[in-house]
Structure 1
Amino acid sequence: MKSQASTLLAEVRTFRQNHPDVRYVDLIALDIPGHFYGKRYPIEMLEKVAAGSPLKLPQNAVLLGAQGGLFKIGDYCFHDGDPDANRRLVPGTLKPVSWESQPLGQMLITSDGTEAPIEFEPREVLAKVLERLHHKGIHPVVAFELEFYLFDKKLDNGLPQFARDPLSGDADDQPNLHIERLSRFSEVLDDMAQTAKDQGIDITVITAELGPGQFEINFGHLDDGLRAADWAALFCRSTRGVALKHGYRASFMAKPYLQFPGSGMHVHVSLYDGAGNNVLAAHQQQPLRHAVAGCLELLPHCMPIFSPNHNAFRRLGGTVNAATRASWGFEDRDACVRIPDSDPRNLRIEHRLASADANPYLVLAAILVGLEHGLETKREPIAPLNEDRSSGTDFPVEMLDAVRTMQHQPVLRDKLGAEFIDVYCENKRQDHLAFQQEIHAREYRWFL
């Protein structure tokens, strides 16, 4: 603990030397729906926290709904006295914020690694999964890919408008994959990439996707799953901020346009043993097949994680490269679990089902549990799509059905934690019901 405090204190003091104009730092963590919550600390108080002073925030901040409200979940929120819970600073995450009007810093905080971690905190859920795998001698290497849309900064009666092409001033309403779109939007995209790099995120490939104003950013591969998920979370925050600075809105909403492709979160995962050997490539890739089978078996039960809201379910099926059933295939983007062509050293799965607005900590935790389950049970998967285009198993496509399918699944309750499963399912159930408590104008048109 003394060593960690010394490291954190050095990090804060170095930051203060390099950024003397920064007076406040946002201490932030991701809640269940995938939004950041936290507090803005004076920089001198942050130095005291780094030296060992307690850092406490309400435990129930993790339970906030999509709109920030609290739901009654068991005894939480309304019958527990709203207690504080300890958090700690995440080393290496203190970075400048360049998209605000005033100099500011930000730093991740978490309950994992404290004396009493919050069982349903997303980062803690992933931390426990990774710790269990490490004890088994399995070391994941992870890379995220995130798709997002740029919109005009101004909404039209609450509805998004196409982003304006900086060259012509016209709406970017021609969906395509042309490289010229990267050039036309280079000013904002370059700033997004550089800002992410300033946050310590390894940005690699940038792609103009099929939808109008839609792009994809790839991150480098990491042998630290927590850090990989940190990158995905922090990228979403900085990208939205940079977009506003340039006169756009950036959104990771799963399906902003019915007629155009949705935005996904693709996760590449390979597994290595303590000697650095690729576990999936051993024995003529038999472990790969087992891992795929485990992922597909648990996938229908993880849908509230992969599609965390009403809009995310709209993304499934009917558009380009969006699966409608739990499936797998070699070099097949229609599959939920794709096996990219690679040499044995880099053999991996690409999990393509999650929406871009899903919680990256929970998505990765669910994928790893699927891989772990497959390696334990050693079952053969269904036929790949390369052999049978109709291959696949059904999964829920509506939230309440998905929650029922998830809540009592014994493997998930064991490996993700029963307390987390119950809290998460009730959070999603209450969010969905709250969403339904508004009558849309279409209902009046149809039924009045």
Structure 2
Amino acid sequence: MGRALTDNPLDDEVTRFLRAHPDVEGVEYLLSDLNGVARGKWGPPQSLAKAATVGLNFPLSVFGLDVWGREVPDIGLHVETGDRDGYCPLAPGTLRLVPWARRPTAQAILTMLTEGGRPFEGDPRQQLRFAVDRLARLGLKAVAAFELEFYLLDPNAASPPDGGLASVFSGVGGPARENVYGLSDLAAYNDLFTEIRTAGMAQGLPVDTIVSEGAPGQFEVNLKHRGDAFAAADDAIMLRRLIVETARRHGLKATFMAKPFMDRNGNGMHVHVSLLDREGRNIFAAAGDGERRLGRSVAGLVEAMVASTLLFIPTWNGFRRLQPGSYAPTRASWGHNNRSVAVRVPASEPHARRVEHRLAGADANPYLVLAAVLNAMADGLEREANPPPPVDLNAYEAPVPALPATMDEAIRHFERSDFVRKAFGVEFRKLFATVKRAEMQAFLEEISPLERSTFL
């Protein structure tokens, strides 16, 4: 049997929600797998009572699926060990309405415990918990916010030569069309973006600015900063789902694929982070000591970047995004107010000083991205590490370590990393690397259409 969560006031949260929404007919329970894909089950409103106490049953192996949702036998969580269940209680504050559902429906994020009530290390949300706890031992708390880029695709448009879908502005204005920050592009899809903002408000998502990005049909939605790392990552999970479903209602497809077009910018997931002390003060804000602690955090981020690239770029396609001049970093670099670096210190007032981590693809798992960032910052602070000189100009040409250029290289760095072992644990390191290696092998065994058209 599962363990009752006597220290978690979820019963009250469920009671308040059902009183406010007595017409709810069902609940969508969500678990974010290693790839950030939402998996789960549907249940009646009455199932919330169990979810708020012992938790719902899910197999541990749900965190051992590849990106296609297939079992990876080598992880040791499937039938060879009995395919055991874990217990998944509600994550506090995640019980919300589903604005796009045709019938009154709720959704809630779950997190996994073992039979003994311990956090399951294979759950990305629990990995974020470990990182948050590590910062807490230093007397620190993270404030974080995500930015998500995506393309809007038109299923009804003529297909491009590669057989994919065209973006909503493909063929409009010629091949050189970018229209960065173009208000006309936002106005063209005013109804869709208004619905995203309205539905976001209904879900409690702190949607901030919406931007037309650097390629035809590419957009970015920015979220406001949260003083709770879990809430920030939950926001990113919920926002991706909201954008996809809202686009579908408008007859479009939204994709967070890291590199859907070879000749256009890829989709990134940037995360902004500052750290507060026990009195709620930004430790980077103070003159002198603030600069030193910012430098130590940056040093940790830069030094851990090669080893943890696989967490930020977890897909075969994602490595196509890392191209010089594309605003996707290719080197373990940092700098002030410089968008070509991997770790940017944005221009800001002292009280808002923070780091922006720019490496992750939009298809990465937000929990693992934020866990990697927070662990690296904690590591730099614990070791009192000194950062390398900042890069002031073009970081693509800077004499600093290059990031892994292939999935195979990234896996090898990840598997050997003491940073990853210390931050995420031996078992998670093995689990994640095994799943990623299985995915890589599947791509290596696929004969591409280009090969057939060339050699057949």
State which of 314, 319, 324 in structure 1 corresponds to 2:320. Answer: 314
Out of 440, 444, 447, the position equivalent to 2:452 is 444
Q: Label 1:4 to 1:95 Cα distance change in 2 as closer, same or farther (>3 A).
A: farther
The 3 A distance-change label for structure 1 pair 54 and 291 is: closer
**CA distance in 2 between partners of 1:245 and 1:253 (Å):** 20
**Mapped partners of 2:419, 2:7: distance in 1:** 35
2:38 matched residue in structure 1: 36
| Offset at residue 319 of structure 1 (A) | 4.0
1:77 corresponding residue in structure 2: 78
1:240 aligned to 2:248?
A: no
Give the whole-Å Cα distance in 1 for the aligned partners of 2:440 and 2:198.
37
Q: In the alignment, which residue of structure 2 is the partner of 1:357?
A: 363
Match of 1:289 in 2: 295
Counterpart for residue 427 of structure 1? 435
C-alpha distance 387-262 of structure 1, shift in aligned 2 (>3 A): closer
Distance in 2 (alpha carbons) for counterparts of 1:271 and 1:291: 10
Superposed CA RMSD in Å reads 2.3
| Separation in 2, partners of 1:370, 1:229 | 17
Query: Shift of the alpha carbon at 1:134?
Result: 0.6
Closer, same or farther: CA 25–147 of 1 in aligned 2, 3 Å: same
Which residue pairs with 1:343 in the alignment? Answer: 349
- Alignment partners' CA distance in 1, 2:368 and 2:25: 33
* Counterparts of 1:41 and 1:215, CA distance in 2: 34
Q: Is the 8 A contact 2:51 2:88 kept in 1?
A: no
Residue in 2 aligned with 1:176? 179
Per-residue deviation at 1:386? Answer: 0.9
Residue of structure 2 in register with 1:203 after alignment: 207
Q: 1:252 matched to which residue of 2?
A: 256
Query: Contact 2:34–2:63 (CA<8 Å) still a contact in 1?
Result: yes
**TM-superposed deviation, 1:262:** 0.7
Residues 87 and 113, structure 2, Cα contact 8 Å, conserved in 1: no
Unaligned 5+ runs, structure 2: none
- What is the aligned counterpart of 1:215 among 212, 219, 230? 219
Match of 2:166 among 154, 161, 165: 161
Would you identify which runs of 4 or more consecutive aligned residues in structure 1 move more than 6 Å? Answer: 169-173
Tell me the distance in 2 between the aligned counterparts of 1:88 and 1:172: 51
What is the CA–CA distance in structure 2 between the aligned matches of 1:49 and 1:286, rounded to whole Å? Answer: 45
Alignment of 1:52-63 (within 5 A): 52-63=53-64
Report the Cα offset of residue 360 of structure 1: 0.4
TM superposition shift of 1:159: 0.8
Q: Distance in 1 between matches of 2:445 and 2:393?
A: 45
1:408 is the counterpart of 2:408: no
Is 1:22 matched up with 2:5?
Answer: no
Q: How many angstroms apart in 2 are the aligned matches of 1:272 and 1:54?
A: 32
Instruction: Identify which of 118, 122, 125 aligns with 1:123.
Output: 125
- What is the alpha-carbon distance in structure 2 between the residues aligned to residue 444 and residue 65 of structure 1? 26
Cα distance in structure 2, aligned partners of 1:426 and 1:343: 44
Q: Tell me the distance in 2 between the aligned counterparts of 1:387 and 1:150.
A: 32
Find out whether 1:186 has 2:190 as its counterpart: yes
Partner of 2:152: 150
User: What is the TM-score of this pair, normalised by structure 2?
Assistant: 0.91
Relative to structure 1, the CA distance from residue 111 to residue 171 in structure 2 (aligned partners, 3 Å threshold; closer, same or farther) is farther
* Secondary structure, counterpart of 2:338 in structure 1: coil
1:377 and 2:383 correspond: yes
Alpha-carbon distance, 1:265 to partner:
0.6
SS at match of 2:284: helix
Which deviates more from structure 2 when the two are superposed, residues 78-87 or residues 275-284?
A: 275-284
Aligned partners of 1:383 and 1:391 also within 8 Å: no
For 2:120, the aligned partner's letter is I
Q: Which residue of structure 1 lines up, in the alignment, with residue 234 of structure 2? A: 230
**SS of residue in 2 equivalent to 1:296:** helix
Q: Secondary structure at the match of 2:186?
A: helix
CA distance in 2, matches of 1:261, 1:355: 11
Deviation at 1:54, TM superposition (A): 4.3
The residue type equivalent to 1:245 in the other structure is R
Change (3 A) 1:438 1:286: same
Cα shift readout 1:129-167 (whole Å, capped 9, x = no counterpart): 1012112201111111111111013484851112269xx
Please say which of residues 67-76 and 259-268 is displaced more in the overlay: 67-76
Once the two structures are superposed, the pairs formed by residues 385-396 of structure 1 within 5 Å of their partners are 385-386=391-392, 390-396=398-404
Contact 2:325–2:340 (CA under 8 A) maintained in structure 1: no
Question: Percent of pairs identical after alignment?
Answer: 36
Distance change in 2, residues 1:335/1:18 (3 Å): same
Structure 1: stretches of 5+ with no match in the other structure: none
Matched, 1:367 2:373: yes
Local SS of the residue matching 2:387: coil
CA distance in 2, matches of 1:383, 1:350: 17
C-alpha offsets along residues 80-108 of structure 1, whole Å, 9 cap, x if unaligned?
11111011112221111122333321111
Q: Would you say the 8 A contact 1:86–1:116 is kept in 2?
A: no
> What is the CA–CA distance in structure 1 between the aligned matches of 2:137 and 2:354, rounded to whole Å?
21
Counterpart CA distance in 2 for 1:280 and 1:202 is: 24
Residues 92 and 432 (structure 1), Cα distance of their counterparts in 2 relative to 1, 3 Å cut: same
**Distance change in 2, residues 1:43/1:171 (3 Å):** farther
Structure 1 residue 112 displacement after superposition = 5.7
Shift of 1:119: 0.8
Residues 63-86 of structure 1: CA distance to partner in whole angstroms, max 9, x if unpaired?
Answer: 111000010234222311111101
How far did residue 276 of structure 1 move?
2.4
Separation in structure 2 between the aligned mates of residue 226 and residue 149 of structure 1, nearest angstrom: 26
Distance 2:31 2:76 in 1: 23
| SS class of match (1:200) | coil
Instruction: Determine if contact 2:145/2:226 at 8 Å carries over to the other structure.
Output: yes
Q: Give the conservation status (yes or no) of the 8 Å contact 1:27–1:40.
A: yes
* Partner secondary structure for residue 241 of structure 1: helix
**Aligned partners of 1:418, 1:48: CA distance in 2, in Å?**
32
